[in-house]
Structure 1
């Protein structure tokens, strides 16, 4: 006699979760997080936060950065270039003075060498932070300054600086290059530019 096994369809990963485009941080929010990390002397998170903002990298590329990717000898470079895992295309990014200083503190404090991952995992089975761990860290950052975790995520860190640049310059091509997108349309969708511009126009009309 045969037993018929009925399999229930698995629940979607996003059940009961708010999904959609994550908000970028505003300038005052960037500084609010940065100052709190400095006050508690969280060397690793401060370097991770600063580099995430400057590099505009996807989480998978950020967590696998090695010292040699951003440093020449003992000197942290002001610019770096990596090949993106998702697209296979190279992308360049800048490291501002703030970021270089925080990364140097990380390297010195944890005695990291050229071939070491910048952001080591505290889980022994992994050599570097996982994207999931990175996501939890971002959740902690936004909660720390009273923001709603459901509105922000790892893509918040990637979108923040390009969003600030676009608002200041309206230079969409520059944002495309900084994000490493193949097509300009991808940048428009990613930053939600058409929606933002439409809302700004609407807000300026006194009906």
Structure 2
């Protein structure tokens, strides 16, 4: 049906894999049970997919992992070293690198920065994270579920978010930076003196 397998011998399909027209599958991709790929999607190299659906025009990978319940919307991007589990990613959303999105909903055109995780498990139960349309989550953020990030909201990089963030609000939850001029030079001098005994 017009699908392109760049290196067919390196791709592994399940018995029920469904691939639409004009799909591109790059080398070393593994399809576990229950994967559906709509027309025009691209699955980049070294990705592992199971129990997932990928809508038209979406790009997954390279080195992405989609676990059961992952629903990737039209023209959404799931990049390298991103894991998605039991989560809906709406149209045009970007999860470009180094993130874990589990038990969540990511709204249309939202941007998830590198290193962002949804902290969905408290040791006893799984909890849901809601990320609104057009939201921007800065790199290295932890979203502690259950929590909602509103439409158009911003989360400052390095934040640990434990409370809901309103639409169009900025949330920053991290220690405040302070600088001590000359401290590093003094520290090295003191440690060198301790080492030599002088």
- Give the TM-score range, shorter chain: under 0.3
Bigger Rg over Cα: 2
Identify the structure with the greater strand proportion: 2
TM-score, normalised relative to structure 2: 0.20
The structure showing larger relative contact order (alpha-carbon pairs under 8 Å, at least 6 residues apart) is 1
